[in-house]
């Protein structure tokens, strides 16, 4: 998981040079690609599948979001209270938060599969898998303009306390806390899956919300980071509706899931 965090940090640094995501794969008249080899990766050093959106088309998180809560504000006090509450979360919730830290495929989507009622990772639904993986990239990278600008200190570091993923703490200390990329990714998964399985929207959205809340429980994000992360994901999902490749792949994914059900 630490490698994924580092990959996203490097990817964000490459965005201004145009080395990140691009939707220039095929067109709406052809079947969207279903392999990482066909889609391409963010860069040679970052083997994440490219998203659907180019940097120019993705929402600008710095323009979209207000600054993080200032010291002495009521919002910062609420963030600190959420941190204190996280320290006393039950062991089973702490364990779930540690599992939710995994952004690797297929682990990241494993907690959504029981709700979906079908496997999303066994290779039988290639369009659904690639739809989710590319949308995840779009959501995660869209957070980085604000992340790098504000470079907010994470709660475990500011409070000199532990997190639920100690092996990742070194990487996280160098990665801005606001907004939460994990939360954006979890919320994006929930939104995309709701589009594919509208009859299960409430449970999917709840899982997506809890995925982001796990970052608070883990003490690696402030509560306000997660709110901002969901806002970035929602803006990115809205923008994806205008992308012809995303729309075409979503339709094929719906057919795969309908056939499996």
User: Active-site residue numbers?
Assistant: 182, 215, 221, 225
Distance of CA 70 to the CA centre of its chain: 25
Instruction: Please tell me what DSSP assigns to residue 83.
Output: H
The three-state (H, E, C) secondary structure of the chain, written as one string: CHHHHHHHHHHHHHHHHCCCCCCCCCCCCCCCCCCHHHHCEEECCEEEECCCCCCCCCCCHHHHCCCCCCCCCHHHHHHHHHHHHHCCCCHHHHHHHHHHCCCCCCHHHCCCHHHHCCCCCCCCCHHHHHHHHHHHHHHHHHCHHHHHHHCCCCHHHHCCCCCCCHHHHHHHHCCCCCCCHHHHHHHHHHHHHHHHCHHHHHHHHHHHHHHHHHHHHCCCCCHHHHHHHHHHHHHHHHHHCCCHHHHHHHHHHHHHHHHHC
Q: Are 155 and 45 in contact (CB under 8 A)?
A: no
Which of 92, 21, 44, 8 is CA-nearest to residue 236?
21
Interatomic CA distance for residues 38 and 157, integer angstroms: 40
């Amino acid at each position: 998981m630490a490698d994924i965090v580092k990959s996203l940090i490097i990817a964000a640094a490459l965005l201004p040079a145009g080395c990140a995501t691009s939707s220039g794969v095929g067109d709406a008249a052809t079947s969207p690609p279903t392999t990482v080899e066909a889609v391409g990766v963010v860069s040679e050093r970052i083997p994440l599948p490219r998203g659907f959106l180019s940097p120019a088309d993705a929402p600008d998180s710095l323009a979209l979001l207000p600054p993080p809560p200032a010291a002495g504000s009521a919002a910062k006090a609420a963030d600190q209270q959420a941190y204190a509450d996280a320290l006393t979360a039950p062991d089973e919730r702490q364990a779930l938060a540690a599992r939710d830290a995994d952004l690797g495929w297929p682990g990241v989507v494993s907690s959504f599969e029981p709700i979906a009622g079908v496997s999303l990772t066994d290779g039988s639904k290639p369009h659904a898998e690639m739809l989710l993986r590319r949308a995840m990239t779009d959501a995660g990278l869209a957070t980085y303009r604000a992340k790098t600008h504000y470079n907010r200190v994470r709660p475990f570091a500011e409070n000199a306390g532990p997190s639920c993923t100690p092996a990742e703490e070194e990487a996280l200390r160098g990665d801005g806390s606001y907004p939460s990329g994990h939360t954006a990714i979890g919320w994006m998964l929930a939104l995309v899956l709701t589009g594919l399985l509208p009859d299960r929207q409430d449970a999917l959205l709840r899982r997506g919300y809890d995925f982001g809340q796990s970052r608070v429980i883990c003490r690696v994000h402030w509560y306000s980071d997660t709110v901002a992360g969901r806002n970035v994901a929602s803006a990115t999902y809205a923008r994806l509706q205008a992308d012809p490749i995303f729309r075409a792949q979503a339709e094929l994914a719906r057919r795969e899931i309908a056939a499996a059900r």
